Structure 1
Amino acid sequence: MNINKIAYSAFIAFVASLFTLVSISALSSSEREEQDDTDLDPITLDELAEHDSAESCWKAIHGRVYDFTDYFPDHPTDEEVFLEWCGRESTEGWDNKRPGVPHSARAESMLDEYLIGRLVDEEGEPLEPEAAPEEIVEDEEREARLSPAEDERLHRALLGLPLDGRYRGVFSDGGEMQVNVQFDLRDGRMSNISYRYLAYRGVDYRQLEEDDELYAVLEQHRQLAERLEGQPVTAIFALYEPERLADDIDGYSGATLRGNKVHSAFRDALNRGVYSWP
């Protein structure tokens, strides 16, 4: 009996000690986290933007900057998904691995290994992303939600038709992302078409000046987006013959414009599904 009491007391003491150590560790970790931010190197958005490739991939998440270059070969998803956020403020992508679904706690625990700095503005002040407003759904709205017989979104999904919402898609070749498009879809028609990334062989077309010899190609890509605006989603097949959508500018022919790359980015967006709901 005495032996059982001794064993029980020893077990309780062990559990209490373990709890104390965990509490101290958590407290120290919290204090270290607060302290580390002031000690981290300040990094501006311009500096961050210089590291936007597989050779050097930095991402800013919740005010901190991480160098994920060494992790790139081990990332489990497609290369273009990983590269999409390099050189940018990436909190949106981190908090929405899928719409409304953040990265896992395991992924969160890996961040410290790649931490290199803190994101600041030109004056050196901390720069953090604006919090996305939470969607408020009133009780009456919940009650008014459509039944399966009336829910058009459900009908379109079951028939394999694209749903209303915002879409994002990319085209990559040889590990290099070349096109990243974003557009809204409503009632089968596209709107708010834009290029989030447009580059080839290290040249970022979106940064070109008007006197650059490749500026005409940028203008052609813009014409593609403008002339698809408001069109049915099936109009993306015209991109296989881009001369139908873009003018010949400064001697650049339709053959120069690789409309099939843009088409692939649109198809990728549709295959991925809705990025965010309206």
Structure 2
Amino acid sequence: MNKFAYSAFIAFLASIGTLVSVHALSSDDETDGASETRDITLDELAEHASAESCWKAIHGGVYDITDYVPDHPTEEEVILEWCGRESSEAWDNKSPGRPHSPGAERQLENYRIGDLVDDQGEPLSGDVEDTSADAERQDASPAASVSPAEDQRLHRAMLGQPMDGHYRGVFTDRGEIQVNITFDLRDGHLTDVNFRHLAYRGVDYLTLEEGDDLYPVMVQHRRITEWLEGEPLTTIFALYEPARVVDEVDGFSGATLRGAKVISAMRDGLNRGVYSWP
């Protein structure tokens, strides 16, 4: 009996040893898996900006989604635009104001390869300087902002390309119609841009004649329609900076151009939809 008890005791110790070894190996595997992620700088991220190697940074994490690019439900260009850069903005706005789903977030974690850090190794989240071509067009001054004429956020906010057709839109303030404008769209380009009504504080600019004090203001607005002719629809955002569009006329500054009102009238026309078909 003593020999049998001794053999059983040795077998018990062996089984405990096996369990300890398995647990240790399992812990090592988990540690190795966790060590697969590493710190990645913006410069390294920027080196992976193509379909052949597409990395994206989202809220501090870096993800290699190269294998997923062909399976993305939108056109490839949409996702490739964000390769090699900080992409939290795109992730949080799958459509304007609507982020990706929790399911997409879980799927994204399968592609995580590291954490975004600055040159000193400090973590970066989502508010980092954009090193893309759009950012390079900005002024070198830290306080500079993207021009409305070139700001892709404004352009994307137009929610798709309107249909070809004839449009009419108005801008009204305090019950007074100040701008009534018509225009045609052909393949996303503006044609036949004209004012049907243009007034301010009781002055009808379209009835003014050369020599009238405010006639130069009417000339400036006529130059708007000439400048927009044949241009892409998104060109209207340049009117936020009138001096880009129309030079000074007879002492009247570019500020006299109420470009924002013209933009509002045109967008009103777009919101109303096609007035008549071509």
TM-score (structure 2 length as normaliser): 0.42
Greater C-alpha radius of gyration: 2
